[in-house]
Amino acid sequence: MTPFLKELAEQMIREHPKLDELTFVFPNRRAALYFENYLARALKKPQWAPALFSIEEFFKRHSDLREPDKLTLIFKLYQVYTSVLNNNESFDRFYFWGEMLLRDFDEIDKYLVNAPQLFKDLSKIKELDETFDYLTEEQKSFLKDFWIHFSDKPSATKDEFLFMWKKLPKVYTEFTKALKKESLGYEGMLHRDVAESFSKKIPAAVRNSRFIFAGFNALTKAEEKVISILVANGAKIYWDADEYYVENDLQEAGQFMREYRKHEHLASTFDAALPKHFLESQKNISLTAVPQRIGQAKLAGLEIADILKTLPKDDLPVELSKTVIVLPDESMLLPMMHSLPDELRDINVTMGFPLRDTPLFNLLDQVIEMQVRKRSASFRHREVNAILGHAYFLTLAEKEAQERIAQIVRNNRVYVPIDELLGDDPIFATIFRFVESAQATDYLLEIVEHLGARLTDKKSFDREYAYHFHQHISRLHSIFSVSEKAPDWRGFQKLFRQVMMMQKIPFTGEPLRGLQIMGVLETRNLDFDNVIILSLNEGQLPSPPRQGSYVPHAIRRAYGLPTWQHQDAIYAYLFYRLLQRASNVSFYYSTEPDVIGNGEMSRYLQQVIMESKLPMQKRVLHNPIHVHAIHPIVVDKTPTVMQVLDKFVNETPEMRSLSPSSLNDYIECSLRFYLKHVAQMREADEVEEDVDARILGSILHDVAFWLYQEFRDTRGGAVNPDDLNIPDERIDKLIDRAFREFYHMAYNEEIVYEGKRIVVKEVVRTFVRKVLERDAEYAPFEIRMLEQDFNETIDLTSGKRVRVGGKIDRADASRGTVRVVDYKTGNDELKFDDIESLFNGDSKHNKAAFQTILYAYVYFLHNNSPVEKIQPGLMNRNSLFGRDFKFGLKAGGSKEPMEDVKPMLQEFGQRLHQVVEEIYDPKVPFAQTSNLKSCTWCPYRALCRR
């Protein structure tokens, strides 16, 4: 089918030999561009082009007012608003509300409504009498509908509403006055301005031009007025209408046309018979239901690939330009772009690349968050790390950045002092500094300028990103420079996000060549052979009702302001119009509702299906579903593996030893042992933000060690009950010291206890006190070992001597019993079944028992006194704080602690030997455990699919 604009172009050429005598006005710039192209293509020889305007350009041209950007407008509104209401709401909080007010004002002007009248408080007025003559009966009834509710009981909600309502006329008047003073105006003001001046007198230049308006549908009152005046003056209008929706009174798509057909000035501009393209032109329609969104993009991509195959190669871009993909849901842009066929090169995208998807947004957002969360002289490590790891840092100062990160991790800096964030590269000083929120925009501008100047890679878009951010931040900057009260960083962040989230960077592309990807509004007036529309769901098309208005529905109706019906009708027209001349149409919609129920098929589709009776192919996307089988992971002991395993063998260079916990790992799951201890596949060190069990354990061990070290060093380990009367201050000092060591702080540096550290400190103190209390009950005793390292070798049949090593927390002796003590802060159990169970990785495996018995075994190997019993046990929270503390592990279901472990040690030794033999047995591979419980906290769960 011939596109509307092409048809028009050809007609114009036929009818007007001198095109440059005409002035065309279209709803938007894109239509003008297409029209111009169609004109040129239809010409036989060069000709002067006619004047071409979008309606906005037309208004701008004839008004003396200039339209500033939205941010500036909202800020100016903010200034007026706060002074009228005499309040000090912050700008960031006002922003959204300001947007809404601005929208309301804009509509009031575009619809030429008398604002003071509209904002009149009628709550006290019983009758709408003669003074309301300017109102029709219908208007009055709408108003009554609303205001009647104020006559009965008052309520807080109503009071609040009224309070604001009464202020609005003043806000409106002052605001528009202030703008006019600077020759500024928002769109609506321009409209009203032109409409009013034209009704007084048509400017001479206009009077003498021959105007042609084309492709219009919904006109604002101001537009209607201006166009009517020009029509009376000889202007022509060409409507792009179809009988299908205009002649049927219920079709909302034709609502406006039907009105204009009866309009006193506009009626004459309609042809008697409307085209019937919608029903009569041949169409292939398909309709595909897709679960959710991505599938739609992928299918559309495949469809484009199919179309591409059929196109002649010689003039591909032009051929392709007959195909459009319409994206009612903006967030589908990138999914769609990524789904286009590889071989497709010519694309034109009318939507922009979202600024929020750029790396620079990411960086600035982190920087702001860092400032939001900063403490006196330090930044939170999370943001600092993210910034240091950001692509830009890696580009500019990779080595230094990595060093800083390593240092932060090493020192476990939850909050990183600014002076630890210095670097030779100037980027450090640019970003890591203490900035007050009042300087926020200066700060960000400096960062952006710095990056803009230094990111010189010509191929990347980094400078473009920087440029756009520069523009937007500058705007914020100029606003804050005249504002008395800067928002705090939180507020600034909100504002920043609000402003940036919406921004787009335009793509380059030739508008009339290649595959077209557009939003719904941009398709206005354009026709394509192949139309692909995605996201045909309620909530997307029509888009959800605009976000709020302070003018209640009834009052909007009374004064003829647009309501949601208006918007629905606009979208309906856009939808039907796009179809009427198309030959191939593909609809896609999602079948999955979101939380709040969007996900219903679009009403327009329902209408087409139920009413048009056009043939339609219905499809549903269904990918075969495959349930994943689990493939076991088995690692054979190859020569390399054996070689690495040798690091635990005596006389090899590494001189590592098997620790009790690595043996525990092996017993529970040999694969885990392999991955963690042989392959060293460990998680990266990170700053431990959560002062977790590990830190608690470490600090407790240190403090206990220092406390008893004194006895060991000064008097051969003898401890008497009285010795254990240790003052709190001493314990506190030791805790401080332990914290300092943990965080690599200088010995004289003061530690601040904040957040969870406070809790840890208290818990350690409680723990230590309890240990001392229990020890005092037990004293006198003699300290034999404290934090004692040991290393044993186990001789294998292969001749290898394997090292097993660890550290014994404490061994003490009293009354013929040697206790081997292990401090535990977790929830370890004292019970175990028997020695065998310690070497069996099922759920009953007691790791702590294995470990302490191993210690006892080692103690026994070196200090085998026939008269002494050896009693391994834990000082853990369960036993220490229990009602009756009894030291020692409990074997085989007994309630009483085991007094002497010696009789078990032989079996223990043998089994230990066996395990180590097995580790070095090349025939036994490392494999996954069958006990799923072991996997619960395993770092390799995702790998194992457990």
Partner 1 sequence: MTKTFHIYRSSAGSGKTRTLAKRYILLALSKQPEYFRFILAVTFANKATQEMKSRILEYLDDFANGRPNNLSGEIKTELHIDDDTLQAKSREVLSYILHKYSQFSISTIDAFFQRVIRSFTREAGLMGNFRLEVDTDYVLDEVIAALMDDLGPERQDLTDWVVQFSRERLQEGENWNVEFQLKMFAKEIFKEQFKTVEDRILGSENILEDNRRMLDFLQTEVNTYRNYMRTKASEALRILDENNIKVSDFSYGDIGTIYAWFRDLSLGKSRSRDSKRIEASVLGPTDWFKKGIYREKYLAIAESKIMPIVRDMVAYDDENSIISRTAIQVLKNFYAFGLITDITRKLRDYREENNLLILADASKFLNGVINNSDTPFVYEKVGSYYRNYLIDEFQDTSLFQWKNFTPLLREAGDQNYFSLIVGDVKQSIYRWRSGDLEILQKHVVNEFGEVRTEIVPLDTNFRSAGNIVDFNNTMFKAAAARVATHVNDNLPVEVFAEAEQKKSKWLDSGFVRMKFFERNEEDEGWEEQAMRMIPTWMEQLQDKGAKQKEIAIIVRKNEEGQRIAQYLLNFRNTPEAKPGYSYEVVSNESLRLDTSLSVNIIISALKFLKNTQDRVSRGQLAYELAGTPADDLFIKAGSKDRFEDTLPPKFLDRLKHFKQLSLFELTEEIIQLFGLGEKPEELAYLQAFQDLILEFSARERTDINSFLEWWEMYKARKSIKVSSSIDAANIVTIHGSKGLQYKYVIIPFCNWRFGHESSTPLMWITPTEKPFNQLGALALRFSTDLKRTQFEAAYQEEYVKVYLDNLNLLYVAFTRAEWGLIVTGPVSNSGRMNFVGEVVQAVLQEKYPFQFNGVEFSVGEINTMPDQWVKTDIIERKLDRYPSTDWREKLVIKREGSEFFEDEVSEKRSKINRGILIHTVLSRIEYKTDAEEKLIQFFLEHALPNEDIEAVRKDVYSVLDHPVMSNWFTKEWEIKAEALVLLPGGTQKRIDRIMLGKKRTVIVDYKTGERKSADRDQIEVYARVLTQMGYPNVQAFLVYLKDMKLDEVISNSTFNLFG
- Supply the minimum distance, in Å, between the C-beta of residue 841 and ligand SF4: 9
The DSSP secondary-structure symbol of 843 reads T
Residues 497-526: x/- map of binding to ligand SF4 (CB under 6 A)?
------------------------------
- Give residues with Cβ within 8 angstroms of 298, minimum separation 6: 339
Residue 395 within binding range of partner 1, rule CB under 8 A: yes
Token pair 């043996």: residue: 663
Do residues 57 and 64 make contact, with C-beta atoms less than 8 angstroms apart?
no
896 binds, among ligand SF4, partner 1, none (CB under 5 to 8 A by kind): none
The answer to the question of residue 943 lying near partner 1 (CB under 8 A) is yes
Query: Applying CB under 8 A, does 452 fall inside the site for partner 1?
Result: yes
In the complex, least distance from residue 742 CB atom to ligand SF4, rounded to whole angstroms:
28
Site string for partner 1, 870-909 (x = CB under 8 A): -------xx--xxxx-------------------------
> Under the criterion CB under 6 A, does residue 928 sit at the interface with ligand SF4?
yes
Q: Which does 669 bind (CB under 5 to 8 A by kind): partner 1, ligand SF4, none?
A: ligand SF4
In whole angstroms, the minimum distance from the beta carbon of 681 to ligand SF4 comes to 10
Does residue 783 touch ligand SF4 according to CB under 6 A? Answer: no
The Cβ of residue 136 has, within 10 Å, a number of other Cβ atoms equal to 10
The one segment of 168-176, 590-598, 913-921, 929-937 that binds partner 1 by CB under 8 A: 590-598
The verdict on 293 binding partner 1 (CB under 8 A) reads: yes
Closest contact distance (angstroms) between CB of 644 and ligand SF4 is 17
Cα–Cα distance measured from residue 551 to residue 161, given in angstroms and rounded to the nearest whole number: 10
Buried b (16+ CB within 10 A) or exposed e, 883-915: eeeebbbbbeeeeebbebbbebbeebbebbeeb
Piece in contact with ligand SF4 (CB under 6 A), picked from 23-31, 51-59, 305-313, 928-936: 928-936
Residue 938 makes contact with ligand SF4 by CB under 6 A:
yes
Start-end of H helices in 896-940: 902-919
| Distance in angstroms (rounded) separating the CA atoms of residues 774 and 533 | 76
Site string for ligand SF4, 626-665 (x = CB under 6 A): ----------------------------------------
Q: Does 678 bind ligand SF4 (CB under 6 A)?
A: no
Minimum CB–partner distance for residue 298 and partner 1 (Å)? 6
Q: Which residues pair with 25 in a beta bridge?
A: 53, 213
DSSP 576: H
Let me know: does 704 contact 810? Beta carbons within 8 Å. Answer: yes
| Residues facing 51 on adjacent strands | 23
Give the residue with the Cβ less far from ligand SF4, 386 or 944.
944
Which residue do the tokens 């020692």 mark?
888
Write the single-letter amino acid at 453: A
User: Residue 934 interacts with ligand SF4 (CB under 6 A)?
Assistant: yes
Chosen from partner 1, ligand SF4, none, partner binding at 408 (C-beta under 5 to 8 Å by type) = none
Nearest to 121 by CA among 559, 561, 556, 555: 555
Residues with Cβ < 8 Å from 684, sequence gap 6 or more?
none
Nearest distance, CB of residue 5 and partner 1, angstroms: 13
Nearest approach, Cβ of 917 to partner 1 (angstroms)? 22
Q: How far apart (Å, rounded) are the C-alpha atoms in residues 660 and 644?
A: 19
Binding status of residue 347 toward partner 1 by CB under 8 A: yes
- Binds 651: which of ligand SF4, partner 1, none (CB < 5-8 Å by kind): none
Task: Note whether 614 binds ligand SF4 by CB under 6 A.
Answer: no
- Return d(Cα 598, Cα 594) in angstroms, integer: 6
How many whole angstroms separate alpha carbon 265 and alpha carbon 340?
A: 48
3 is a site residue for partner 1 (CB under 8 A): no
- In one letter, which amino acid is 205? A
* 505 near partner 1 (CB under 8 A): yes
Burial class (CB in 10 A: 0-12, 13-18, 19+), 588: buried
- Compute and round to an integer the Cα radius of gyration of the chain: 40
753 is a contact residue toward partner 1 (CB under 8 A)? yes
Helix (H) or strand (E) holding 870: strand 869-876
Among partner 1, ligand SF4, none, partner that 862 touches (CB below 5 to 8 angstroms by kind): none
Residue 347 interaction partner, one of partner 1, ligand SF4, none, beta carbon < 5-8 Å per kind: partner 1
Q: State yes or no: residue 759 binds partner 1 (CB under 8 A).
A: yes
* Contact call for residue 669 and ligand SF4 (CB under 6 A): yes
Does 711 bind ligand SF4 (CB under 6 A)? Our answer is no
Q: Does 610 bind partner 1 (CB under 8 A)?
A: yes
Q: How far is CA 733 from CA 751, 786, 825, in A?
A: 11, 20, 21
Q: Is 370 in the site for partner 1 (CB under 8 A)?
A: no
Max intra-chain CA distance, the chain: 124
Binding mask 876-915 for ligand SF4 (x = CB under 6 A): ----------------------------------------
Q: Which residues contact 868 (CB under 8 A, 6 or more apart)?
A: 813, 816, 817, 818
Q: Which does 338 bind (CB under 5 to 8 A by kind): ligand SF4, partner 1, none?
A: partner 1
Residue 929 interacting with ligand SF4 (CB under 6 A):
yes
Give dist(CA 476, CA 929) in Å, integer: 59
String marking each residue 530-569 x if it binds partner 1 according to CB under 8 A: --------x---x--x-xx-x-xxx--------xxx--x-
532 makes contact, choosing from partner 1, ligand SF4, none, with CB < 5 to 8 Å by partner type, with none
* CA 670 to chain CA centroid, nearest Å: 40
Q: Which distant-in-sequence residues (6+ apart) come within 8 Å of 27 by Cβ?
A: 54, 55, 215, 216, 217, 524, 525
Based on CB atoms, which residue is closest to ligand SF4, 630 or 867?
Answer: 630
Q: Under the criterion CB under 8 A, does residue 162 sit at the interface with partner 1?
A: no
Cis peptide before 939 (omega within 30 of 0): no
Q: Return the structure tokens found at 891.
A: 């074997």
- Give me 701's structure tokens: 């061990």
Q: Name the burial class of residue 129, with classes exposed (0-12), middle (13-18) and buried (19+) by CB atoms within 10 angstroms of its CB.
A: exposed
Which of 539, 672, 800, 826 is in the footprint of ligand SF4 by CB under 6 A?
Answer: 672
Residue-wise over 813-846: b if at least 16 C-beta within 10 A, else e? beeebbbbbbbbbeebbbebeebebbbbbeeebb
Residue 825 CB, shortest distance to ligand SF4, in Å, is 23
Instruction: With contacts defined by CB under 6 A, name the span among 17-25, 67-75, 802-810, 929-937 that binds ligand SF4.
Output: 929-937
Of the candidate residues 231, 444, 671, 830, the single one contacting ligand SF4 (CB under 6 A): 671
Q: What stretch of H or E contains 641?
A: helix 639-645
Q: Does 155 bind partner 1 (CB under 8 A)?
A: yes
Q: How far is the CB of 640 from ligand SF4 (least distance, A)?
A: 20
Check residue 389 for interaction with partner 1 (CB under 8 A): yes
Total residues in contact with ligand SF4, by rule CB under 6 A: 12
Name the residues that contact ligand SF4, by CB under 6 A: 669, 671-672, 928-929, 934-935, 938, 940-941, 944, 946
